[in-house]
Structure 1
Amino acid sequence: MRLHVDTVHYRVRRIEYFTRRDLPRLADRLDLWTALQCRTGDVGARAAPGGSGRRAHTARGGS
C-alpha cells in the first residue's frame, strides 16, 4: 500500500487532535503506543523468547 506523504501528515494531525496528544513529544508518543499495544494484546509479546509474536491464551476451566 502506498500513501502520499501529505495523507500521512494529515492523519497524524487528526490522531493528535482526537487524542489530545502532541506526538513530537516522546511521552505522548509512548502513551499512544502503549495504549495501542494494550488494545491489540501485544504488550510484552516481543519479550517472550522463541515466541510467535503473540501471547498464548489458555482456557480457564473448572476443576
Structure 2
Amino acid sequence: MPGSRPGGCLAPGRLRGARIGAHLRDALRETLVHLGGAPLQGGLYVRANPWELYVGEAAHRLGT
C-alpha cells in the first residue's frame, strides 16, 4: 500500500504524489485517528496494533 511502513506506521501525506484531493487526504487522516492512530510528525501515524487491513479498507472505501 502506498505510504505504509512496517511497524504499524502510515504516512498519508505521501499520498500527495498520487494526486488525490485534499479532502480525501483529510478524510483518511480522520479515519486513521478514529482507528486509534496517533500522529507523530509530518503526516506520520502510528498504532500499537497491526492495522494494515483496516487502513487498506478505508483507503479503498475513500477511493485512494
Coarse TM-score class (shorter-chain normalised) = 0.3 to 0.5
TM norm structure 2:
0.33
Higher relative contact order at CA 8 Å, sep ≥6: structure 1 or structure 2? 2
Structure number with bigger Rg: 1
Structure with higher strand content: 2
